[in-house]
Chain A
Amino acid sequence: MELDNEMKILIVDDFSTMRRIIKNLLRDLGFTNTQEADDGTTALPMLKKGNFDFLVTDWNMPGMTGIDLLKAVRADPELSNLPILMVTAEAKREQIVAAAEAGVNGYIVKPFTANTLKEKIDKIFERIHGEG
């Protein structure tokens, strides 16, 4: 199934440079409908009223971290099915396992390539459409 380019995506990272990089990469992949937040505390209310289709989040952020945001989304009945891709420098095995257990849909370690981002997004939506 083809990806919907109108998909509304929220990019959460405390570094504005990384948000710009991800935003540009997503634009190259055809996704232009993106918004940004700098941590979980800002992201959560946006997600609650924003009708987002996809969340790309960092882990290590002051305020609310990505793992806490992930847990909060999964715990919210309105948002629990939102696909989440984690893009983070956190590279410990126990961290990746913890993210998987919390219900992440994909995990990318920084530094990453444009191709990796495309691959993981394709895979996430392949699986979702396959199951649906």
Chain B
Amino acid sequence: MAEESAGDRYLESARMLVQSLEAGDEMAADKAIDELTHIRETVLFKELGMLTRELHESIKAFRLDTRLSDIAESEIPDARDRLNYVITMTEQAAHRTLTAIEDSINRVDVVIGKAQPMRENWQRFRNREMAVDEFRVLCRDLDEFLEASAEEGGKVQSNLTEALMAQDYQDLTGQIIRRVINLVQEVEENLVQLVRFSGGRILEENAASADKNKDGAIKAEGPSVPGVDKGDVVQGQDDVDDLLSSLGF
């Protein structure tokens, strides 16, 4: 009921009360007093309603506050650990790649170093400038060279695979960084809500976002980070194989 109509009703009942008292009509005066009390109670209930609503809003805002303190207490340190893990992983990947490259450079250098004099001797042989004894030595060197280059080639090949595999850090760290970005975004949204709330009124829809991510479907969580992700995480491929074989795989 609107404010002015409550005021009008007060005025009307008050006039009635005065008129009744002046006329000496006690029953009518009692009725007017009852009416005044009733109006008074209605206003009280309305105020109580408003108080309840404010309390409700405050509780909702408090829930947002706990989400923020949750982020501050556990998720920010958690994100810091994740980012540190990213540094460790990228460092390891860089070293793996560099080690494979350095080892390959040494091996290729050796092969090139052996090939150069061999080529000169081979040219002399083709030009018929080589004595039989020298040719025997060349044949032995050639044997050794072919064997060594096959062996070195194999090692360079596995170094290349090693360097190739080391690049998996980009995928794994990318997934971890993406997760931290999501957290930063959530912090931003919560701060905006907090500013909105302390500046005045909180919007109904904002409270709902605190309850997201609650449906039952199985979710992707990205790579597990040692020391951060506790719980039921497998430790490597052997664990996966054991688990799957226990399921009849």
Q: Decide if B223 touches A110 in the complex (CB within 8 Å).
A: yes
Query: Roughly how many angstroms separate A20 CA and B167 CA in the complex, as a whole number?
Result: 9
Q: How far is the CB of B31 from chain A (nearest CB, A)?
A: 72
CA distance A56 to B222 in the complex (A): 18
When the two chains form their complex, are residues B243 and A111 in contact, meaning their CB atoms are under 8 A apart?
Answer: no
| Complexed CA–CA distance, A67 and B175 (Å) | 17
Query: In the complex, which of the residues A18, A21, A91, A114 contacts B233, with contact meaning CB atoms closer than 8 Å?
Result: A91
Given contacts A60-B175, A109-B237, A114-B161, contact A95 B168 (CB under 8 A): no
Kindly state the interface size class of chain A when it binds its partner: 35 or more
Chain B residue, CB-CB nearest to A86: B240
A89 at the B interface (CB under 8 A):
yes
Contact A89–B165 (Cβ < 8 Å): no
> Which of A3-11, A47-55, A73-81, A96-104 is the interface stretch?
A96-104
Total A-B residue contacts, Cβ distance less than 8 Å: 90
Residues of A contacting B221 in the complex (Cβ-Cβ under 8 angstroms): 60, 90, 92, 95
CB distance from B85 to the nearest CB of A (A): 12
Contact B236 A109 (CB under 8 A): yes
B45 at interface by CB-CB < 8 Å:
no
- Beyond A110-B172, A113-B165, is A93–B220 a contact (Cβ under 8 Å)? no
Give residues of chain A (76-132) contacting chain B, Cβ–Cβ below 8 Å.
Answer: 89-98, 100, 107-114, 116
Q: Which one of B161, B171, B218, B249 contacts A110 once the chains associate, using CB atoms below 8 Å?
A: B171
Q: Which residues of B contact A60 (CB under 8 A)?
A: 175, 220-222
With A15-B170, A109-B236 as known contacts, state yes or no: A21 contacts B164, CB within 8 Å.
Answer: yes
Interface residues in chain A, defined as those with a beta carbon under 8 Å from any beta carbon in chain B:
13, 15, 17-18, 20-21, 24-25, 28, 59-61, 65-67, 89-98, 100, 107-114, 116
Cβ contacts A to B, 12 pairs, < 8 Å: A18-B171, A21-B164, A25-B165, A60-B221, A89-B172, A89-B222, A92-B224, A92-B231, A92-B232, A93-B234, A96-B243, A109-B237
B-to-A contact residues, CB < 8 Å: 161, 164-165, 167-168, 170-172, 174-175, 218, 220-224, 231-234, 236-237, 240, 243-244, 247, 249
